[in-house]
Amino acid sequence: MKNAHPLIAGAAALTLTLSACGGDGTDAAEETGDDGAGTATAEHMYGATEVELPEDGELRVVALGWSDAEVALALGVEPIAVHDWLGFGEETHGVGPWAADLIEGDPEVIPRSDDELDYEQIQAMEPDLILNVNSGYEEGEYNRLSEIAPTVSGPEGAENFNPGWESHTQLIADALGLSEEGEQLVADTEESFSAAREEHPEFEGVEAVTGSKFGEAYGLSYSGDMRWDVMEELGFQMYGPAADMEPNQGFFADVSEEQVEVLDAEVAVLFPIGYTLDELQEDPLLSSLDVVEEDRAVLLPDDGDLVMAFSAGSPLSIDVVLDELPEQLAEALENLD
């Protein structure tokens, strides 16, 4: 498994210095004064946020959005606090294990909670910048965070938790004054996808789905959910009956027991949420689908790096997915008549 994107191998040794700050990105600008300090600007759904870049080169960044911390790490910036959306825990500082070795300090890990953010806790951290790019977009929350420190939300027009990995990456780069580095990171990730497509031309046009089992229900991923975006980037197209469903959460659709056949594509990637792999395999409805019976489904273990990387959706986690998933998909396709 790769531990870092090619662009940022050794990025943990980097610090945010003004000499490293890009300034030509389309959505950000940087101005540098005579004293060496600078200002970065990021354009997002609530307007333009200006970020003062400290003279010592070290921003105090609180990363609240889903995988915001991983994107910052990929750009060589270590947050002082990480909102642990995927429950990675203290051991990896609230980020995926593929990103943990880029952390040299001891950022505070904010556990995921259904309660509102603890604004007093965040204020006590004295941040220079708050990243809340991949999140539920609530203007009231944004306004409250902006009272604490310059805050960057998602791109204009984005739905909740659906910034798109490219915009997610570039917005964070812009806010850090690293626009050019962000553009390069996006380009390198796109190149990785291109290499995977070239290696597996058999994926082109094959109908597929990515789906999950949770509680007594099932779910489908759509554009904006990295789990489907990866498949689309690899050349797959969405299975017709699945595409005909109306997503009820922008990038995700609940699937009832009566609708479970929308998962019966030529190829499927299925994963449990709050379940084990054994329970997924023993599910009577899923196991009755042709795609499962004929071994054309890739079933992801609930406790492996791949399923977590598949959900994280950062350039660092995409590397993990591209290391492992294409070969499994190729094996599944061999069983397609």
Q: Are strands 151-152 and 252-255 parallel, antiparallel or unpaired?
A: unpaired
CATH number of 200-333: 3.40.50.1980
- Give the pLDDT confidence of 244-283 residue by residue, as tens digits: 998 876 788 999 999 999 999 999 999 988 888 998 999 9
Across-strand partners of 44? 47
What pTM did the predictor assign? 0.87
Q: What's residue 37's pLDDT?
A: 57
Residue with tokens 């003279």, as numbered in its chain? 55
Q: What's residue 249's pLDDT?
A: 67
Structure tokens at 23: 């300034």
Q: What's residue 32's pLDDT?
A: 44
Cα within 13 Å of Cα(174), Cβ side: 26
Name residues of the chain where pLDDT drops below 70.
Answer: 1-37, 57, 249
Cβ 174 vs Cβ 28: under 8 Å: yes
Q: Can you identify the CATH homologous superfamily of domain 6-191?
A: Nitrogenase molybdenum iron protein domain (3.40.50.1980)
- Give the pLDDT confidence of 71-103 residue by residue, as tens digits: 999 999 999 999 999 999 999 999 999 999 999
Q: Give CA–CA dist 291/199, Å, rounded.
A: 23
Q: What's residue 159's pLDDT?
A: 87
Helix 179-199, helix 226-233: angle, nearest 10: 60
Is 6-191's fold the same as 200-333's? Answer: yes
Task: Give the number of other CB atoms < 10 A from CB of residue 237.
Answer: 16
Q: Cα(first)–Cα(last) distance of the chain, in Å?
A: 31
Q: What's residue 33's pLDDT?
A: 38
Where are the chain's structural domains? 6-191, 200-333
Task: Give the number of other CB atoms < 10 A from CB of residue 47.
Answer: 11
